[in-house]
A and B are shown apart, each in its own frame.
Chain A
Amino acid sequence: MSMFRYLALIWLVSLAFLAVSAPWLPLASFEKIDFINEAQFPNESSWLGTDGMGRDMLSRVVHGAQVSLAVAIASPLIGLLVGGGLGLLAGYYRGWLEQLALVIMDTMLAFPALIFALLAVTYLGSSLLNVILVMGVLSIPVFARIVRGQVLLIVNLEYVTAAKSLGVHPGQILIRHVIPNIFPAVASFFLTVMATMVVAEGALGFLGLSVPPPQPSWGSMIAEGREYLEEAPHISVIPSIAIFFTLLSLNLIKEK
C-alpha cells in the first residue's frame, strides 16, 4: 500500500501546486467561449479537449481545483477551530454546558446537510467565501462530537488526574496533555471531512449553487457535460476523474 500512498501524496501536492500557480502557468483562458471549437475531444492544442462552449478543459479543471481545494482546506479548519474547541470544553468540563452543546450539535446533525447548504447559499448568495463558511458551519458538529469523544477517553487517565491534583491550570492540562493525545485521531478525521467537503462542494456545484460562473467548479462542469453525454462524454468524465483521484488520495493517505 505504501507505494499507492506516495502516488496519492504526489497527486494532491501537484494538484495544489497547479491550483496555486494557475495564474502564472501558460494555460488557455478558462472563460473564453469559442463556438467553432466546441466539445472537442482531447487533442494537441487543448490537451483535455474543450467543453460545450469551446472553453479549454485543462484550464477549467485546474481552476476548478482552486475551488475544491479552498473549500476542502478552509471549511474543515473552521469546523476544527469552533467545533473542536466546543468538544474540548464539553468533554473536559461536562455538566450543563456539555448537555447544551450536545443538544445544539444534535440539532445541527438532524438538519439535513444538503438542505442547510442549499438554503444558506441561496439566501446568502453564492460566492466562494459563502460556500466555505456554509460548509465550515456544517462541519462544526461533527468535529465537536469526535473531539468530545476522544477527550472523554483521556480525561480520566491517571496522568490527567495527577496533573489536576497537582493544581495545574486547566488550560495547561488541555494544551500539554489532552490535545497532543487526541491529535492523531482528529487528524485522521480531518482527512475524512476534507473528502466529504470535496463531495459536498461538487454537489452544490452540480446544482449550480457553488461559485458563480464563469469560475468553474468540478461539480458544475460535470453538470454542464450532461447535455453532451453521448457525443462528448469527456466533458463530464474528466472532472469526475479529477474528483475521483482526489477522494481516492485522501482515503488512501488516511488508511494505514
Chain B
Amino acid sequence: MMWSSWAQRALRLTVVLFLVLLLTQAMTLLVPGDLAVMILGENASQDELAQLREELALDQPLLHRFLKWLGAAVRGDLGVSLQNGQPVAQLIADRFFVSFELMLYALGLALILALLASLLAVSRVGTWLDRICTVIALGLISIPSFSLGLFLILFFALMLGWFPATGYRLWSEGVVVHLSSLFLPALALALVEAPVYFRILRTDMVETLKRPFVMTAKAKGLPKWGVLTRHVLRPSLVTLITVVGLNVGHLIGGAVIIETLFALPGMGRLLVEAVYAKDLFLVQGLVLVVALVYIIANMLVDALYLVLYPQARGMERQR
C-alpha cells in the first residue's frame, strides 16, 4: 500500500511534468505577431523566415508541434540550438554540473548554518542568544540574493581579497582554487535559504521540547546537548525536509541571478542567454531539466521521509 500511494504521486508528477512542458510551448503564443520575425529580427529575408518556420513547424498547430518535440525528446533528442546549431542536450550537459555543484554546496552551507543556529537558539529558548539568532534571521530574510551577492563581492573579494570576485575555476586547477571560486556564490544562496530553514527548525524544535519523552530524557539526567541532538532533532525535521525538497528544485533553476552576478557557466546563465536569443529549443530543454530535477527532488524527499519516520508508513493509506 506504501507503493501504491508512491506510484499515485509519481503518476501525478508525470502529469504535472507534461503540463509544464506543454505550457512552455504554449507561452510562445504570447508573442505578438510573427514568431519567426521575432527570432530572426526585422531584417531577415523571406527565405530565412520560411526556413525557420519549416524548422520550428510554425505552420502546424501548437499541440502537433509539442507532440513532435516530445516524441523526439523521449528518445533523447532535444533538438538543436537556433543560435549555433549545437545539440541542446550537449549544451545543457556542459552546464548542468556547475549548477548542480553550486546547488549542493549552497544547500550544505545553508543546512549547517541553520542547524547550528537553531541548536544554539533552542538550547536557551527565550534568552538573548535565541533573540539574536531570530533577529539575524529576520534581517537576512529581508535581503534579496542579488544585493547579498553584491555585498559579499564588495566585502570579501574587493575589500579583503580573500576570494575571487567572479569567474569559475575548474577542478583541474586545484581543489582549493575550485572550491574558493564557488564559495561566495554558494554562500550568497545559502544565506538566503538558511534563515528560512532556521525559522522552521527552531519552531518545530521548540514544539518537540514540550513533549513528554524529552522530559523523560532530561529527567534521566542526560546531558542537554545529547538530548537536543539525539532526541529533539530527528522528530523536528519533518517540515524542514519537505521545504528543502521544494527548494532544491527551485535552486537549480533559480540560481539565474547568482550565476549571472558571479559569471558562472551554469544552467541559469544558459537560460538567460537562451531567453534573450529566443532560442526556443534550448529554453524548452532547460525547462525540461529543471522540472525533472524538481520532481526527482520531491520524490527523493518522499522516500527519505519514509526512511526517517517509519511510523508514517502505516499512515500512508490515510494520506
Chain A proximity of B188: nearest CB distance (Å): 13
> What residue of chain A has the Cβ atom nearest to residue B17's Cβ?
A110
Contact (Cβ within 8 A) B143 A244: yes
A122 to B283, CA, bound (A): 12
- Give bound CA distance, A195 to B143, whole Å: 10
Docked Cα-Cα span, A103 to B18, in Å, equals: 11
Complex contact A103–B30 (CB within 8 A) = no
In the bound complex, how far is the Cα of B145 from the Cα of A161, in angstroms?
Answer: 47
Taking a contact as CB atoms under 8 Å apart, the answer to whether A222 and B150 are in contact is: yes
- In the docked arrangement, what's the CA distance between A199 and B141, Å? 11
- Contact indicator per residue, chain A 169-196, by CB within 8 Å of chain B (1) or not (0): 0000000000000000000000000010
- Taking the complex as formed, is B151 at the interface, i.e. its CB lies under 8 A from any CB of chain A? yes
Bound complex: CA A252 to CA B15 (Å): 39
| Interchain CB contact under 8 A, A229 and B256 | no
Partner of A229, one of B17, B20, B142, B154: B154
B206 CB, nearest partner CB in chain A, Å: 16
**Is B107's CB within 8 Å of the partner chain A?**
no
Measured between beta carbons, the chain B residues less than 8 angstroms from A229 are: 150, 153-154, 158
* Contact residues of A: prevailing secondary structure: helix
Whether the pair A110, B150 counts as a contact (CB closer than 8 A) is no
Asked if A243 is at the interface (CB within 8 A of a chain B CB), the reply is yes
B12 to chain A, nearest CB (A): 7
User: Are B144 and A247 within 8 A (Cβ)?
Assistant: yes
* A115: B residues at CB distance < 8 A: 253, 256, 271, 275, 286-287, 290
Beta-carbon contacts under 8 Å, A90-125 to B = 103-104, 106-107, 110-116, 118-120, 122-125
- For B283, the chain A residues whose CB sits under 8 A away are 119
The minimal Cβ–Cβ distance linking A93 to chain B, given in whole angstroms, is 21
Evaluate contact between B295 and A243: CB separation under 8 angstroms: no
Main secondary structure on B side of the interface with A: helix
Question: Within the assembled complex, what's the spacing in Å between the Cα atoms of A125 and B271?
Answer: 18
Nearest CB of chain B from residue A26's CB, rounded to whole Å: 29
Interface-side segment among B21-29, B80-88, B168-176, B214-222 = B21-29
- Indicate whether A112 sits within 8 Å of B144 (C-beta atoms), given known contacts A118-B272, A236-B150: no
A206 interface residue per 8 A CB criterion: yes
Q: Looking at the complex, which one of B15, B27, B256 makes contact with A207 (CB distance below 8 Å)?
A: B256
By the criterion CB–CB under 8 Å, are B147 and A240 in contact? Answer: yes
A32 at the interface (CB under 8 A from B): no
Task: Give residues 279-319 of B contacting A (CB, 8 Å).
Answer: 283, 286-287, 290-291, 294-295
Kindly identify, within residues 1 to 37 of chain B, every residue whose CB is under 8 Å from any CB belonging to chain A. Answer: 12, 15-17, 19-20, 23-24, 27-28, 30-32
Q: Which of B146, B153, B278, B286 contacts A219 (CB 8 A)?
A: B146
Q: Which residues of B contact A (CB under 8 A)?
A: 12, 15-17, 19-20, 23-24, 27-28, 30-32, 138-139, 141-147, 150-151, 153-154, 158, 249-250, 253-254, 256-257, 260-261, 271-272, 275-276, 278, 283, 286-287, 290-291, 294-295
